[in-house]
Structure 1
């Protein structure tokens, strides 16, 4: 069928549906929801059989839904209505939730139901739930609805009695530090994750808080006299704040002043004030309840040990400092007697490459610039990738539990093998960010998997890639098609078997020989030099496309048009 996706932005859920529907043979085109006239024009040009709206912030115009079947993906169970469905579910601690695909009509979220899928609700941030459980349920429900439509049905089921949930206000999310427990504070931070954040104040300055993590009892025991609301310490850029019965680490904020009104690491957004707080670094190996961005665990018997290096960076953004800390952790782990190392990434993202928000912040600092910050960041990413590539006495595996994009996708390829869950979406290209050329040694890493022609073909396209398709084209080495629950354990068992395999010494010897031959043929330093020459023009040259695209992305500016690689009807 011809299916038009109408969406506010081409977000993770929309990307997954786009890739999955296209893999099933449907002709897909995308139109961003800019205004009613543009939507009407897109329908007239593409002539779709069906319109699907995975992520909207406005109603579909009546001129469209009256003329064409329009299915809306709503992140709530049947009968749930309102624009803040998932926010309310997280705040209220619902145990079960779901996704409903319903037909657009004159009422908000009240049309005939075509399909729905349920799931247990984890205690997690709204964004994490959206990227995992909501996306998986939305895929199942959307495929079921599309199948019904293909079978000739044109009317969905009557909706159940409605429960209207209004748009959540800041008053509903507000934190009262003297009264709220850690669990209550986390529920408020998690339901506002990403957007809009919880309106509060730090050091008397209004800002939106997000990215909360519970502090351990051992950390809080070091501050026996602290009062609720007190700011106590810094770790990995997060600020420790006292609650009624414990504490939370606040990872990111968005300041209310117009000049820097975008998301930043909390301690960097309030850099001057945060210098008065003590640093409390977390050791790599530590108890489970001790939060930190980096964590290392070790498994298996002596002589067949497997290490797991976790780096859970918010939204997969890897700033210069984060790259440097991860590289230092890698070098520290290099001293361990391992056979296999799993580079774990985070639960929601493996990596999305350089940190565009941190780079944007440099444009607001005296004596710095976005171009200089971009240059520092890409150098740090390259140093990290180089450390992985040059590790030849172990087998290294990148484990993609969540999505990977741009430089983060190529960082994954720096390992010997890449294993991913089937729900992962990859965007192994740079062009969508102002036509960046890219680095992270991709000119070395990609051709060794796809060949020169295959590498160039992949870098020319700009659309998302399913993990299953990446496996079929040999971009990755293993795609786990079992349920998301237990994925990490299954991969650990694979790694333990690999570490104990009889032919591991031969594999390592072959790996070392290949690296030596490749270096003799064309040194890694030459790849880096050539890539960075192009990146230097992106950052410092006459074409401002990268800086414009980054600014629009960071400040969440509305789209003026739909990119032509998505809007094929144009």
Structure 2
């Protein structure tokens, strides 16, 4: 079937739908709904049999939906209407939520229903961004499959909605007044408000006398010892970019903040402590604020039998210079332990490479970009050169650019089914580093590595396994995935062939080093990157700014690749 994906941006959900439908043999094209004329031109040029709108904020022109089947994917249960569905669901602590596929009509979200799905919401308020990327996206993709199947049936008609008999209702767009909280409010109330706005638009408040929108909130009451007398709203501690703010009955860690409109400086979402800068110069740094397991860490290490697990969870998968230094240090420490397998697990987003926001907001963006790329290269080198353990990378969330290449340094790469990978750099005007000229060709071969980095297309988990980019795709939700990869790592550690695999790995690494030292790949990559960063030969500065400000970036020149050998460790555990 010839299908047009009409979207406000080619976001994670739209990419997931795109790769899924293409794998099923459909002719799929996506277009951004810039304005009505752009939409009409796309429809006239492509002549689709079906239009699907996985992520669309704008109305579809009447003459378009009246001329051919046009289906809107709405992140709410049947009958729900409005642009802030997930925000209201989290704020009001809805016990369950849903996703609905419905026909485009004159009134937004009011058309006949093609299909719907529901799912349970956790009692602990989820981040809106995580809810959207997880259960909402999974349900939406399942819906799209059903829509396409129904669209192929002659005479199929979607069901009209009887608003008196459905769980959802029309809701207005949520305003900042609806999101408002006071720092004197209970911690649980503040957490729910901020998490309902996570990703966008955040909640406006004041920190250290600065008007900001805040994101990425975690309870921090156990870190409050000695600061109980502080007034609500005051910042009492810092930690790796986050700030601990006193609330009415405890404290909240705020990880990210952005200046509100009208505030001097770039409107870039940054680690809160970085944004506040000298305003919190006298606030002490927490040396070990996570002594208790109730407060998650950005980077953590645990041991389970002969498996050492390094977990890192960077907001939106962006790895700043400081975060990369800390992750490299954690990997060195993990590699020094007497474990047999090292398991590397990412967060909701595995990793997307360097932190473009921190770079954009830096007083010297080129210098900060150079520091950042060198720092993430150090992380990759720790993974590639670890020969005391087998290394398994567990990619449970989407990954892009240097984040994909970071995972490829491992001996095995396990991905969760439904994950979307973007293993390329050109759309950001970069040649790329992270030792990609070494790790990518040894997995997929030089010709395919060249095509991947030149075509700049999203890749499904199934395709990644088919071409050897990943070793296995595991089914299930994130919790099941995290359990399965630990089970698999423990099976590798206990396998009788472990010692032989480890010896083979060391021999391959030594042979590669004799043929061409690992450092030479880095030298070549950084030589190219120096032109991209300092000479801006392919528009990195403009592409970075476009990305941060939600504009469409340009494309850059294509890199070249080389081929290498790698260790192949079989899947020894039943996973999934």
**8 Å contact kept, 1:250–1:266:** yes
Equivalent position of 2:43 in the other structure: 43
**8 Å contact kept, 2:5–2:29:** yes
Provide the rounded CA distance (Å) in 1 between the counterparts of 2:536 and 2:115.
51
Provide the rounded CA distance (Å) in 1 between the counterparts of 2:36 and 2:448.
40
| CA positional deviation for 1:200 | 0.7
3-state secondary structure, aligned to 1:387: helix
3-state secondary structure, aligned to 2:445: helix
Residue 198 of structure 1 pairs with residue 200 of structure 2: no
Provide the rounded CA distance (Å) in 2 between the counterparts of 1:187 and 1:72.
28
Residue 298 of structure 1 pairs with residue 316 of structure 2: no
Equivalent position of 1:372 in the other structure: 367
| CA positional deviation for 1:532 | 1.0
Provide closer, same or farther for how the CA distance between residues 258 and 141 of structure 1 changes in structure 2, counting only shifts above 3 A.
farther
Residue 245 of structure 1 pairs with residue 221 of structure 2: no
**8 Å contact kept, 2:426–2:555:** no
Which of the numbers 383, 391, 394 marks the counterpart of 2:389? 394
**8 Å contact kept, 2:335–2:388:** no
Equivalent position of 1:456 in the other structure: 450
| CA positional deviation for 1:283 | 7.3
**8 Å contact kept, 1:32–1:561:** no
3-state secondary structure, aligned to 1:163: coil
Provide the rounded CA distance (Å) in 2 between the counterparts of 1:412 and 1:519.
20
Instruction: Provide Cα deviations, 1:427-482, integer angstroms capped at 9, x if missing partner.
Output: 11111213x11110111001111111121122122111111110111111111124
**8 Å contact kept, 1:127–1:194:** yes
| CA positional deviation for 1:95 | 1.2
Provide closer, same or farther for how the CA distance between residues 562 and 140 of structure 1 changes in structure 2, counting only shifts above 3 A.
farther
Provide the rounded CA distance (Å) in 1 between the counterparts of 2:91 and 2:287.
30
Equivalent position of 2:312 in the other structure: 311
Provide closer, same or farther for how the CA distance between residues 402 and 212 of structure 1 changes in structure 2, counting only shifts above 3 A.
same
**8 Å contact kept, 1:75–1:98:** yes
Residue 31 of structure 1 pairs with residue 31 of structure 2: yes
| CA positional deviation for 1:287 | 3.6
**8 Å contact kept, 2:9–2:55:** yes
**8 Å contact kept, 2:356–2:548:** yes
C-alpha RMSD of matched pairs (Å): 1.6
- What TM-score, normalized to structure 2? 0.93
| CA positional deviation for 1:182 | 1.1
Instruction: Provide Cα deviations, 1:164-221, integer angstroms capped at 9, x if missing partner.
Output: 110000011111111x21111011101111111101111222110111111142x123
User: Which structure would you say has the larger RCO, counting Cα contacts within 8 Å and 6 or more residues apart?
Assistant: 1
Residue 211 of structure 1 pairs with residue 212 of structure 2: no
Provide the rounded CA distance (Å) in 2 between the counterparts of 1:264 and 1:390.
32
Which of the numbers 401, 409, 419 marks the counterpart of 2:404? 409
Provide closer, same or farther for how the CA distance between residues 463 and 99 of structure 1 changes in structure 2, counting only shifts above 3 A.
same
- What TM-score, normalized to structure 1? 0.94
Provide the rounded CA distance (Å) in 1 between the counterparts of 2:27 and 2:394.
31
Provide the rounded CA distance (Å) in 1 between the counterparts of 2:492 and 2:49.
49
3-state secondary structure, aligned to 1:164: coil
Residue 332 of structure 1 pairs with residue 333 of structure 2: yes
Q: How does 1:434-513 map to 2 (within 5 A)?
A: 434=429, 436-513=430-507
Which of the numbers 183, 190, 200 marks the counterpart of 1:185? 190
Equivalent position of 2:535 in the other structure: 541
Residue 426 of structure 1 pairs with residue 387 of structure 2: no
Residue 361 of structure 1 pairs with residue 361 of structure 2: yes
Instruction: Provide Cα deviations, 1:84-127, integer angstroms capped at 9, x if missing partner.
Output: 00000011111100100000001110000001111111331000
Residue 127 of structure 1 pairs with residue 129 of structure 2: yes
Provide closer, same or farther for how the CA distance between residues 442 and 489 of structure 1 changes in structure 2, counting only shifts above 3 A.
same
| CA positional deviation for 1:259 | 2.6
Provide the rounded CA distance (Å) in 1 between the counterparts of 2:72 and 2:2.
16
3-state secondary structure, aligned to 2:542: helix
Unaligned runs of 5+ in 2: 557-576
| CA positional deviation for 1:154 | 4.3
| CA positional deviation for 1:485 | 3.7
| CA positional deviation for 1:258 | 5.0
Provide the rounded CA distance (Å) in 2 between the counterparts of 1:542 and 1:172.
43
Provide the rounded CA distance (Å) in 2 between the counterparts of 1:153 and 1:487.
40
**8 Å contact kept, 1:113–1:158:** yes
**8 Å contact kept, 1:78–1:160:** no
Which of the numbers 142, 148, 151 marks the counterpart of 1:149? 151
Which of the numbers 166, 169, 174 marks the counterpart of 1:163? 169
3-state secondary structure, aligned to 1:342: strand
Equivalent position of 1:234 in the other structure: 238
Residue 384 of structure 1 pairs with residue 379 of structure 2: yes
Post-superposition, which runs of at least 4 consecutive aligned residues in structure 1 deviate over 4 A? 559-563
Provide closer, same or farther for how the CA distance between residues 396 and 489 of structure 1 changes in structure 2, counting only shifts above 3 A.
same
Provide the rounded CA distance (Å) in 1 between the counterparts of 2:553 and 2:428.
16
**8 Å contact kept, 2:207–2:233:** no
